[in-house]
């Protein structure tokens, strides 16, 4: 399957955006002082659920961004050979 240049850039941007957003979220989750993420210094179910969401989002962002990067590289190779 061939991806267009705009679609490839969108997928790459989505992957980068996903990493930026979820890294910020995890930093805030670890520093949480509201009592949701930690209770008496121990992680709560809220913490583990949201950490799992972040890890899944990191994986999906990496895969989707990688697809976009591969699409851009393939387009660059075809434009050099033409």
| pLDDT for the residue numbered 81 | 72
Instruction: Count Cα atoms within 13 angstroms, Cβ side, for 77.
Output: 7
Please state the φ and ψ torsions of residue 3, each to the nearest 5 degrees: -105, 140
The residues near 39 (Cβ < 8 Å, ≥ 6 apart) are none
Q: Residue 61's closest CA among 72, 53, 73, 71?
A: 53
Q: How far apart are the first and last CA of the chain?
A: 19
Q: How many domains does the chain have?
A: 1
What is the structure's pLDDT at 82?
Answer: 61
pLDDT of residue 47: 96
Structural domain containing residue 71: 5-79
pLDDT tens-digit series, residues 30-77: 999 899 999 998 999 999 999 999 999 999 999 999 999 999 999 988
């Amino acid at each position: 399957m061939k991806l267009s240049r705009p679609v490839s850039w969108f997928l790459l941007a989505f992957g980068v955006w996903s990493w930026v957003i979820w890294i910020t979220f995890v930093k805030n989750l670890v520093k949480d002082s509201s009592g949701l993420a930690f209770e008496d210094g121990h992680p709560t179910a809220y913490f583990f659920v949201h950490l799992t969401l972040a890890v899944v989002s990191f994986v999906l962002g990496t895969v989707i961004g990688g697809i976009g990067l591969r699409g851009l590289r393939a387009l660059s190779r075809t434009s050099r050979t033409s």
